[in-house]
Structure 1
Amino acid sequence: MSREARWQTLLELLVERGRLDVEPAAEALGVSAATIRRDFDQLADRQLLVRTRGGAVQHGVSYELPLRYRTSRQAAEKRRISEAVAELVTPGEVVGLTGGTTTTEVARALTTRPDLATGTAGAPALTVVTNALNIAAELAIRPQFKIVVTGGVARPQSYELTGPLAGGVLGQISLDTAVLGVDGFDPSEGFSTRHEDEAAVNRLLCERARRVVVAADSTKLGTRAFARICAPSGVDTLITDHGLPEDARAALEEAGVEVRRV
């Protein structure tokens, strides 16, 4: 296992458990205790955890993994979800993408569609509006896509631009489809994310779009993140995986959300 893979696994375990001791972590990863101690020390140097005697704990109360350490979670499900979302997009549309691991996969899925390989009559194959720096960087090299970046203040955890500058741009444009990544959803509480500034940008994307699509794997069900984005009625379609229980699907559809499990 590479160092990057070990770090990713350790951070995911830390999110699940809140605390990790050296010996159990070494056993879980199949490496020596000395290796885990070095990993803990290096992750602490990067302020991704807090070192304790014999182990490590989460870094702060509002612990949030940077995007690059969350990419392997539910990877197969996210690929299926992203491909299904990409298929909803019509050539020539203006598409809004928030930040996140699943929306990043949606952006990549859009680049593989043959009918989006070129523009028509001088018009772009797609216009993509995003507040995510990593998505903009990946798509900017595609000449058939017109990329609009919102501006704003960058959050290092998610690479998303937030604040009044982002809102100023979004307030002046119209979207055909907004694709949201979320940290939690619930049939009664709606859709939410961890950071209030991200939620504010997401809400504005929803308001400016004719259609709102949420791309989220089923592990987000029942999670109430800190900042609410919108009620279930604010979303047209949820694309998720088959791990979503039937009763949750029925409750979401009763609330007006079309649910597709892939």
Structure 2
Amino acid sequence: MTDNQNLLAEQRRALILDEVRRRGGVRVNELTRRLGVSDMTVRRDLDALARLGVVEKVHGGAVPVVEASTHEPGFEAKSALELTAKEDIARAAARFAVPGSAIALSGGTTTYALAHHLLEVPDLTVVTNSLRVADVFHAAQHPGGAAPRPGAATVVLTGGVRTPSDALVGPVADRTIRALHFDVLFIGVHGISVEAGLSTPNLAEAETNRRLVDAARRVVVVADHTKWGTVGLSSFAGLSDVDTLVTDAGLPPDARAEAAEHLPTLVVAGERASDGDTGQAGQAGQAAAAADGEG
């Protein structure tokens, strides 16, 4: 951890959450020394994390909340976590979207962040089962009720039954997706692991996600480092179905090695490459250029 006193609250809380999960618990006095902030600041951070349901406060510190494999946090709770990581991932993943292509975005807070970076990619056809993603494109295309600008994306919303994460799932969504074909699917996940592949706590969402994966020529998973090793109730794809994982620099070295062993491309966003080396983050641009050349 760091002793930088100028960390933003979001960054500080992300560091605290990582420490809680890694060690199985932390004490307030340990955090004050490591972060170089007051007891009151640490206690406020723990209060905020407890309100989000990701830690449980105990006397003198906090422990992780052990979530059931069927627990699905709401969109607002998830959107407050790992903000910097999601922004880094979104910026890197956007390079895989080629102008004029047909893409799909699943529900989730990371795909929501990605949608903002896709607004300037011209002539996209965007299929999504996310109400939040659809709203991003609609608000950008119709400011004040104006007509869409030239080159604005065509957005297809699948329909279906709404989940806590504001995704539309179920038979209506499944039938719509079954009839479509995408160049690239950008999909967020509840969990990703070698054994369970991609998983979610929502059974209906798992089936809809299977349809999305089946309809895509290329599958790009956008998932921050906290998702690695997490397993939800239902798996909907194996790692063999994934072409690229875009994650953030918080992914530990052992997890990076494991991911690189089982995936064709691993992109670690938000990490500066060394001189003379494009690095893992640079693979995003290379892969996007290759996709553009396929036509």
TM-score (norm. length: structure 1): 0.71
1:134 aligns with 2:132: yes
Instruction: Please give the secondary structure, in 2, of the residue aligned with 1:66.
Output: helix
> How far is the alpha carbon of 1:232 from its aligned partner?
4.1
**Alignment root-mean-square deviation, CA:** 3.5
- Separation in structure 1 between the aligned mates of residue 22 and residue 211 of structure 2, nearest angstrom: 31
Which residue among 103, 106, 109 is the counterpart of 1:98? 106
Asked whether the 8 Å contact 1:71–1:101 carries over to 2, the reply is no
| Counterpart for residue 152 of structure 1 | 161
1:54 aligns with 2:66: no
Q: 1:29 to 1:149 in 2, by over 3 A?
A: farther
Which residue among 83, 92, 96 is the counterpart of 1:71? 83
Q: 1:11 to 1:135 in 2, by over 3 A?
A: farther
- Separation in structure 2 between the aligned mates of residue 74 and residue 17 of structure 1, nearest angstrom: 23
In structure 1, runs of 5+ residues without a counterpart are 117-124
- Separation in structure 2 between the aligned mates of residue 249 and residue 28 of structure 1, nearest angstrom: 31
Q: 1:4 to 1:153 in 2, by over 3 A?
A: same
> How far is the alpha carbon of 1:18 from its aligned partner?
3.1
1:38 aligns with 2:44: yes
Q: 1:29 to 1:110 in 2, by over 3 A?
A: same
| Counterpart for residue 81 of structure 1 | 92
Paired amino acid for 2:32: A
> How far is the alpha carbon of 1:134 from its aligned partner?
2.9
Identity %: 27
Instruction: Please give the secondary structure, in 2, of the residue aligned with 1:177.
Output: strand
Asked whether the 8 Å contact 2:240–2:263 carries over to 1, the reply is no
Paired amino acid for 1:128: V
Asked whether the 8 Å contact 1:85–1:215 carries over to 2, the reply is no
> How far is the alpha carbon of 1:164 from its aligned partner?
4.1
- Separation in structure 1 between the aligned mates of residue 136 and residue 106 of structure 2, nearest angstrom: 14
**After superposition, where does 1:1-262 map in structure 2 within 5 Å?**
1-62=7-68, 66-73=78-85, 76=88, 78-79=89-90, 81-86=92-97, 89-91=98-100, 93-100=101-108, 102-113=110-121, 116=122, 125-140=123-138, 141-142=140-141, 143=148, 144-150=152-158, 151-156=160-165, 159-182=166-189, 183-186=191-194, 189=195, 191-197=197-203, 198-209=205-216, 211-216=217-222, 219=225, 223=229, 225-226=231-232, 227-235=234-242, 237-240=243-246, 244-245=256-257, 249=260, 252-253=263-264, 261=280, 262=283
Paired amino acid for 1:136: A
Larger deviation, residues 3-12 vs 214-223: 214-223
Asked whether the 8 Å contact 1:25–1:36 carries over to 2, the reply is yes
> How far is the alpha carbon of 1:221 from its aligned partner?
9.7
Q: Which has the higher strand share?
A: 1
Q: 1:61 to 1:215 in 2, by over 3 A?
A: closer
Q: 1:47 to 1:129 in 2, by over 3 A?
A: same
Asked whether the 8 Å contact 1:192–1:224 carries over to 2, the reply is no
In structure 2, runs of 5+ residues without a counterpart are 1-6, 142-147, 268-279, 284-295
Paired residues, number = 237
